[in-house]
Amino acid sequence: MSAPWADAAGTPRSRPPVGGRGWLLAAAGIALITATPLAVALMSLLNPDREVWEHLAQHVLPRVLVNTAWLVVAVSVLTGIIGASLAWLTATCEFPGRRFFNWALLLPLAVPGYVLAFALAGLLEYTGTVQTAMRHTFGDAAGLPDIGARAASIATLTLALFPYVYLIARHAFATQGVRALEVARSMGMSPARGFRRVALPMARPWIATGVALVAMETLADFGTVSVFNYDTFTTAIYQAWFALFSLDAALQLASVLLLLVALAVVTERRFRGRARFEAVGSAAAGQRINLARRPALAASAYCSVVFLIAFLLPVLQLLAWAVQTYPAEFDPRYLSFATRSVVLGLSAALLIVTLAVLLAYAVRLRPGASTSVLARAATLGYAIPGAVLAVGFFVAVAGMGDALTVLARWLAGPGAAPVVLTGTVLTLLLAYSARFLAVGHGPVESAMQRIRPSLDDAARGMGVAGFSLLRRVHLPILGAGIATAALLVFVDVMKELPITLMTRPFGWDTLSVRVFQLTSEGHWQRASVPALAIVLAGLIPVLALNRRSG
């Protein structure tokens, strides 16, 4: 007899759900947060305002589409090449400085694109540090060519985002280990050929995932392209909303951008193909390919150049500016910028971690297709650009306010004051939740996986149940995951720009908003002080990540 609930050893595998219907409702409620802006965008896509649409189709869409396509394709290809090659070098080869670059190449993760953009521009523009030095040394004719907004945006986003591919591909190369390459060598392939025929194809699903993340981040980017005045969907949404004051146009653009995101997601699925995430053999560490002198020096030089341009030089530039401008620039206002950033980060972290824990328990206590679909839907928001979430939630929250106003007037008569929710932190927190729930859910979910059902049974068998079970078993095991989740969300919110900029309550300037305001007016030196604060916060999770994977 083979029963569907029994595995080979005869242990019941999926038991009837123990949680009540409330858990299903909780999961549905959390998924509803992400579904709201999607529904708003979809409705606008299905009911286009003809006048608005014609204006956009004539004056905005062609340029924005071309610009966005260039950006996404170029940044994806370049980050794929740079990220995968660096990952392969540090994971499987031995060369001077490898151990340092192994973790140092993750440091650019701490620098948001909009900070890297103005730091690099400050370094390299005509009046910048590098060109001034060149003119000093070689005479007035010396200098760098002007590469234009498109190339500048592509280069900056590539340098800011390649660590995603690097991190994921490095894991792939390290775990597939030298074993796979040894198989190739035993069949008479040279190391280079083995890389092409074995290591690269095996790492392909990971590289594709990394590149897909980069493509989504590129589509979502608002700050970097703003610095270079390169018009993409996100800047067009901002322009339509805050320069033309047309929320309809912003919403139309947002819904088209959402289609592009969907396209990117589907493309990634297709490209990943049927390849599976599996390692061959165990990770045999230490057995690296010893590069000969010349290739080894070339590898060191390559890593150094990327590290210098993507992290060290920009950060040094920020430091230099900060030292110059700090006495004049720093005033009590900065305390309030920083306080708001921290308060927003903490409240978002608290809210999102709570939602993530509820979601993880819903899946645990009511296992089944419905909760797992809801959990996947709820964590879809990481793919939706902040600008889209900002518009979508603004419209939804405005609708909520109108509905409440109608209710209030029905209850208290026509004289009741209108309910206005749009200028509150509600929009902000909802949009943060949608965008960063996946970030918070990941660590909580993987901690939850460690609490096997038999742990609950074992504890109950020893008389430990109910709240005592939660305190003595669940919380200690979940604790580290919850802390990681809170830290990641906190830092992401500190760095976040488009949602904060577009939906913050009046006068609620944060560090990131301050950076945007100063850079859009060309005050790059002055922007260095808040930018450095953001970079410092961003370094915390990167260093923690390194310590764990090191």
Task: Report which residue type is found at 6.
Answer: A
- Please write down the HEC assignment for all residues of 85-133: HHHHHHHHEECCCHHHHHHHCCHHHHCCHHHHHHHHHHHHCCCCHHHHH
* 8 A C-beta contact, residue 441 and residue 377: no
Q: Residue 485 CB, nearest distance to other proteins (Å)?
A: 17
Using the contact rule CB under 8 A, the part of the chain among 9-17, 169-177, 304-312, 516-524 near other proteins is: 9-17
Out of 10, 327, 414, 415, the residue judged to bind other proteins by CB under 8 A: 10
Nearer to other proteins, 73 or 458 (CB): 458
| CB under 8 A, 24+ apart: contacts of 415-418 | none
Q: What would the two tokens of residue 432 be?
A: 């943060």
Q: Is 477 in the site for other proteins (CB under 8 A)?
A: yes
| Interface with other proteins, residue 365, by CB under 8 A | no
* 416: DSSP letter: S
CA distance 230 to 225: 5
Buried b (16+ CB within 10 A) or exposed e, 359-377: bbbbbbebbeeebeebbeb
Interaction of residue 11 with other proteins, rule CB under 8 A: yes
**CA–CA distance, 299 with 95 (Å, rounded to integer):** 7
Q: Which residues contact 403 (CB under 8 A, 6 or more apart)?
A: none
CB distance 249 to 52 below 8 Å: yes
463 sits near other proteins (criterion: CB under 8 A):
yes
Q: Are 251 and 395 in contact (CB under 8 A)?
A: yes
Q: Does 1 bind other proteins (CB under 8 A)?
A: yes
Binding positions for other proteins, 394-453, rule CB under 8 A: 450, 452
Task: Please state the closest distance from residue 445 (CB atom) to other proteins, in A.
Answer: 16
Binder of other proteins out of 189, 398, 455, 540 (CB under 8 A): 455
Helix 21-46 to helix 425-450 angle (10° resolution) is 130
What number of residues does the chain have?
A: 550
Q: Which of residues 115-134 bind other proteins (CB under 8 A)?
A: none
User: Looking at 465, 505, 536, 549, which residue binds other proteins (CB under 8 A)?
Assistant: 465
Q: Nearer Cβ to other proteins, position 3 or 192?
A: 3
Closest contact distance (angstroms) between CB of 482 and other proteins is 13
Radius of gyration for the alpha carbons in the chain, expressed in angstroms and rounded: 26
CA distance 227 to 211: 23
CA distance 444 to 358: 10
Report yes or no: 235 and 258 within 8 Å, Cβ to Cβ.
no
- The reply on whether position 190 binds other proteins by CB under 8 A is no
Site string for other proteins, 158-187 (x = CB under 8 A): ------------------------------
Distances (CA, A) of 72 to 31, 153, 155, 252, 342: 28, 11, 12, 20, 32
Q: Does the protein bind other proteins through residue 99 (CB under 8 A)?
A: no
User: Stretches 156-164, 302-310, 353-361, 458-466: which one binds other proteins (CB under 8 A)?
Assistant: 458-466
Binding residues among 16-45 for other proteins as defined by CB under 8 A: 16
368 binding other proteins? (CB under 8 A): no
Q: Is 548 in the site for other proteins (CB under 8 A)?
A: no
Q: Is 459 in the site for other proteins (CB under 8 A)?
A: yes
Q: By CB under 8 A, which span of 3-11, 69-77, 402-410, 509-517 interacts with other proteins?
A: 3-11
Per CB under 8 A, 9 contacts other proteins? yes
Residue 479 Cβ, how far from other proteins at the closest point, in Å? Answer: 8
Count of residues interacting with other proteins (CB under 8 A): 32
Closest CA to 344 of 228, 497, 215, 465: 497
Which is nearer to other proteins, 43 or 475 (by Cβ)? 475
| Out of 229, 339, 446, 468, the residue judged to bind other proteins by CB under 8 A | 468
Nearer to other proteins, 313 or 483 (CB): 483
Question: Among 22, 148, 273, 476, which residue sits at the site for other proteins (rule: CB under 8 A)?
Answer: 476
Distance CA 255, CA 213 (A): 20
Instruction: Name the residue nearer to other proteins (CB basis): 281 or 461.
Output: 461
Contacts with other proteins, residue ranges (CB under 8 A): 1-3, 5-12, 15-16, 450, 452, 454-455, 457-465, 468, 471-473, 476-477
